[in-house]
């Protein structure tokens, strides 16, 4: 595959869950692409649909969930495939690094058993000795010695268990990896080690990586591009340097302003909370929390403005008449919210 060709191309992906109060629109018309060796950071508050997006790409949503759109992986439209064929691509072609390894590693199985099971299912052409060699090679790349191969998950620290999860994914040699909060609950030193490992994997094996995180510092260090997600939609997307230097969407600016650094003198937060995805706000979903909200923000869906390389969904970026640009009062926001 050419480095300029996309490993993954996602167009208008939607993931809806059935709920007692109506369908939960967890992911709503999301589009992006990833090339070999590229890392896209997916950021946003909890409840914005980041993990659902990652699992939707992997085909790991519950039965009964509605998924539509186009997900082209390595030239194949995944959503057009029968479920069994799509499942075969998971592991060998597409890998997932979970955020809590102790909930994903069977405490009754040795590390060697985890690797042997995964490779038997996804690489059936390998013999037992070859499976062992592949597993030890992956563990060695993560700094885990062969002497730990036949131990149990509880005998490792949290950081080492996360390395095992990454090694399990790496052993299957996927072209695309979803890393779902891979440094959650780890101290900063172990977090730095995991990020170095991901960087080494990227240089050596060139997988495309979707890195889901709350930590904008991780995005700045590890990612080429960033997609900012709010209430099921990607509201801004572009190169990390450009977005950090000149964020276009008010939500992106608010997230960056809330980040703590050595120069921070005052704490900032975003008022309110992400909306209920059963009944999200009409038009711009961020307008009830936005300090720049205008009348048009509550009446019409925002346009996508910018270039294919860096774009955002916001009325502030689009010319409009004076009445449409009139700031919303708090009462108007409440009325629009209730509607």
Domain residue limits, the chain: 1-93+175-190+206-264, 281-339
User: What pLDDT score does 128 carry?
Assistant: 94
Q: How far apart are CA 156 and CA 148, in angstroms?
A: 9
Tell whether the model's pLDDT for residue 324 goes beyond 70.
no
User: CA-CA distance, 120 to 117, in Å (whole number)?
Assistant: 5
Which pLDDT score is estimated for 183? 81
Band of residue 334 on the pLDDT scale cut at 50, 70, 90 = low
Q: How many CB atoms lie within 10 A of CB 329?
A: 11
- The CA distance from 172 to 188, in Å, is 28
pLDDT surpassing 70 at residue 336? no
Q: Does residue 301 have a pLDDT over 90?
A: yes
Residue 176 has pLDDT above 70, yes or no: yes
Distances (CA, A) of 298 to 24, 34, 92: 21, 33, 45
Residue 144 is encoded by which pair of tokens? 């885990």
Cα–Cα distance for residue pair 331/137, rounded to 1 Å: 62
For 38-72, the pLDDT digits (tens) are 999 999 999 899 999 999 998 888 888 889 999 99
Question: Closest by alpha carbon to 238, among 225, 219, 251, 220?
Answer: 225
Q: In this structure, what token pair is assigned to residue 98?
A: 């979970």
Instruction: Give the up-direction half-sphere exposure of residue 273: CA atoms within 13 A in the CB hemisphere.
Output: 4
d(CA 110, CA 208): 29
User: pLDDT: is 330 or 269 the higher one?
Assistant: 269
Query: Which residues neighbour 143 within 8 Å (Cβ) at sequence distance 6 or greater?
Result: 163, 197
Q: How far is CA 32 from the centre of its chain?
A: 11
Model confidence at 27: pLDDT above 90: yes
Position with higher pLDDT, 24 vs 186: 24
Looking up tokens 């000795």, which residue turns up? Answer: 129
Helix extents (H) in 123-174:
128-141, 158-171
pLDDT in tens, 222-267: 999 999 999 999 999 999 999 999 999 999 999 999 887 777 788 8
Q: How far is CA 123 from the centre of its chain?
A: 26
Query: Would you state the pLDDT for residue 19?
Result: 81
In three-state secondary structure terms, 48 is: coil
Beta-sheet strand order (sheet of 66-73): 24-34, 8-17, 66-73, 76-77
Mean pLDDT of the chain: 88
Confidence of residue 191 (pLDDT cuts 50, 70, 90): confident
Alpha-carbon gap, residue 196 to 179, rounded angstroms: 14
CATH number for the segment(s) 1-93+175-190+206-264: 3.40.50.300
Model pTM? Answer: 0.90
Q: CA-to-CA distance for 84 and 74, rounded, in angstroms?
A: 17
User: For 127, which DSSP code?
Assistant: -
Q: What percentage of the chain reaches a pLDDT higher than 70?
A: 93
């Amino acid at each position: 595959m050419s480095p300029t060709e996309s490993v993954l191309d996602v167009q208008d992906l939607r993931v809806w869950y059935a709920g007692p109060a109506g369908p939960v629109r967890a992911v709503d018309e999301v589009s992006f692409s990833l090339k070999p060796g590229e890392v896209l950071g997916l950021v946003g508050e909890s409840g914005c649909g980041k993990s659902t997006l990652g699992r939707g790409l992997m085909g790991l949503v519950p039965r009964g969930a509605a998924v539509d759109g186009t997900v082209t992986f390595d030239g194949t439209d995944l959503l057009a495939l029968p479920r069994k064929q799509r499942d075969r691509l998971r592991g060998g072609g597409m890998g997932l690094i979970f955020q809590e390894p102790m909930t994903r590693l069977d405490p009754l199985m040795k590390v060697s058993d985890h690797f042997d099971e995964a490779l038997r299912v996804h690489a059936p052409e390998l013999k037992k000795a070859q499976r062992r060699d592949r597993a030890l090679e992956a563990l060695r790349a993560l700094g885990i010695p062969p002497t730990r191969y036949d131990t149990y998950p509880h005998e490792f620290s949290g950081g080492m268990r996360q390395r095992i999860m990454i090694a399990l994914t790496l052993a299957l040699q996927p072209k695309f990896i979803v890393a779902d909060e891979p440094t959650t609950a780890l101290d900063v030193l172990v977090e730095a080690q995991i990020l170095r490992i991901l960087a080494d994997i990227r240089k050596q094996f060139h997988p495309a990586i979707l890195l889901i995180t709350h930590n904008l510092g991780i995005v700045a260090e590890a990612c080429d591009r960033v997609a900012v997600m709010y209430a099921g939609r990607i509201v801004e997307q572009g190169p990390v340097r450009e977005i950090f230097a000149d964020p276009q969407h008010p939500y992106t600016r608010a997230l960056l302003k809330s980040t703590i650094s050595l120069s921070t003198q005052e704490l900032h937060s975003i008022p309110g909370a992400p909306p209920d995805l059963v009944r999200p706000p009409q038009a711009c979903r961020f307008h009830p929390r936005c300090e720049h909200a205008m009348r048009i923000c509550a009446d019409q869906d925002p346009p996508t403005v910018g270039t294919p390389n860096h774009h955002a969904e916001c009325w502030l970026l689009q010319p409009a008449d004076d009445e449409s640009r009139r700031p919303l009062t708090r009462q108007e926001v409440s009325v629009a919210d209730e509607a």
